[in-house]
Amino acid sequence: AQKVTQAQTEISVVEKEDVTLDCVYETRDTTYYLFWYKQPPSGELVFLIRRNSFDEQNEISGRYSWNFQKSTSSFNFTITASQVVDSAVYFCALSGVSYNTDKLIFGTGTRLQVFP
């Protein structure tokens, strides 16, 4: 079975603080993809990153960075120097490479509130 766990339901920080959002996944697939999406208050889903299971290099994009560790089945997301505009719900998702489906399994999301 595939499962994504985002244990942090809600996080509150003050602007300029760094914050890490945790994501732990379970899968029997040897090849799979991991994603992060952002859902701002307006409700749309914004694609942030895709990582495949063979690429364990950490990635940095501006203030965003991702730490993928296969050994602990984790794909954590860090925002450096947070800003009010980062306030949103963040979802981690998993897609296994199986014969007939590319569906995404989502975690329950972490609501991040950044206060000025």
Partner 1 sequence: NAGVMQNPRHLVRRRGQEARLRCSPMKGHSHVYWYRQLPEEGLKFMVYLQKENIIDESGMPKERFSAEFPKEGPSILRIQQVVRGDSAAYFCASSTSRDVSGWGEYFGPGTRLTVT
User: Residue-wise over 67-104: b if at least 16 C-beta within 10 A, else e?
Assistant: bbeeeebbbbbbbeebeeebbbbbbbbbbbeeeeeeeb
* Binding-site member from 11, 13, 24, 105 for partner 1 (CB under 8 A): 105
Instruction: Judge contact between 70 and 78, C-beta under 8 A.
Output: no
- DSSP structure class, residue 81: S
Site for partner 1 in 37-56 (CB under 8 A): 37, 43-45, 47, 50
Binding mask 52-91 for partner 1 (x = CB under 8 A): ---------------------------------------x
Considering only the stretches 11-19, 31-39, 55-63, 75-83, report the one whose residues sit in contact with partner 1 under the rule CB under 8 A: 31-39
Among 7, 65, 73, 2, smallest CA distance to 36 is for 65
Of 80 and 113, nearer to partner 1 (C-beta) is 113
Of 30 and 100, nearer to partner 1 (C-beta) is 100
Among 9, 8, 32, smallest CA distance to 22 is for 8
Q: Which residues bind partner 1 (CB under 8 A)?
A: 33, 35, 37, 43-45, 47, 50, 91, 93, 95, 97, 100-109
